[in-house]
Homo-oligomer: A and B are copies of this chain.
Amino acid sequence: MREMLKHADAAQMHAQNMNKPSGRLFAVTDSASAKTKAPSRIQQRNRSVILDAALEVFSSEGYRGATLDQIAKQAGLSKPNILYYFNGKEEIHVTLLNQLMTTWLDPLKEMNPNGDPIKEIIAYVHRKLDMAIELPRESRLFANEILQGAPRMGPHLTAGLKPLFDEQAAVITRWMDSGKIARSDPAHLLFSIWATTQHYADFAAQAEVLLPDSNAREQGARVFLDQIFTKLLTP
């Protein structure tokens, strides 16, 4: 009930007029009129500091588990100060999710339909593994959101991921049709690539117990994934 109201608010809280010089920074998202003027140096810095802190907290605590106080502390700012830069907890989270979508989709886009199929797919695997290792927080943020049923990302999945997914699945199917790689289900092939690579970020707490040497683990993962997908794809 309250949630719905808040959503409605966010969607159309335009009516407000910003006469008084003090108060909110953000242009109350007045979509129709004046766009927000260029953000100042300090604004840029603080927004990014906040987003980084929020990424840290959200990715390890989940949306509800994260508190503004934690984020504020992590960012080295006061809570009201954070609310000066963002309309609220949800806006921070959504901003993070939007940024993430790009980061997440890019590697998939890089698969070149005219390249060598096996090389292209293996390169994609490596790119995803690198991301999991270098950007574990992003991976966990995503995992948390999906685990929770993608409450704030559902649209992104349908509008952003789905078309790209279908497109790349079609590319893979064509590769299979041409006999350049062994036939298997392209959709599940992509799933398995995501699952096996992101596993090293999302289940790091488990992997660290079972295979404590992180260098060996990363190297081992690389070799293993290379092997399993090469074997699968080789005709």
Interface residues of A (CB under 8 A from B): 60-65, 140, 143-144, 146-150, 154, 157-158, 161-162, 165, 182, 184-185, 187-189, 191-192, 194-196, 198-200, 202-203, 205-207, 209-211, 220-221, 223-225, 227-228, 231-232
A111 to B191, CA, bound (A): 26
Given A202-B143, A224-B188, A232-B228, A148 and B62 contact (CB-CB distance below 8 Å):
yes
Q: How many Å lie between the Cα of A188 and that of B150 in the bound state?
A: 28
Contact of A65 among B63, B184, B220, B223 (CB under 8 A): B63
With contacts A143-B143, A211-B187, A232-B232 taken as known, whether A148 is within 8 angstroms of B196 at the C-beta atoms is no
Partner among B140, B148, B221, B232 whose Cβ is within 8 Å of the Cβ of A227: B232
CB-CB nearest in chain B for A201: B147
Judged by DSSP, the binding face of A is helix
Contacting residues, chain B, for A182 (C-beta < 8 A): 231
**A185 lies within 8 A of B149 (CB):** no
Extra contacts besides A62-B147, A185-B223 (9): CB < 8 Å:
A62-B65, A64-B65, A143-B147, A182-B231, A184-B227, A188-B224, A191-B221, A192-B224, A228-B228
Most buried by B among A150, A157, A188, A198: A188
In Å, the complex CA distance between A189 and B199 comes to 12
Question: Which single member of B191, B207, B211 contacts A207 (CB below 8 Å)?
Answer: B191
CA distance A232 to B233 in the complex (A): 11
Q: Chain B residues near A209 (CB, 8 Å)?
A: 150, 154, 157-158, 161-162
Q: What's the Cα separation between A205 and B146 when bound, in Å?
A: 6
Chain B residues with Cβ below 8 Å from A149 are: 60, 205
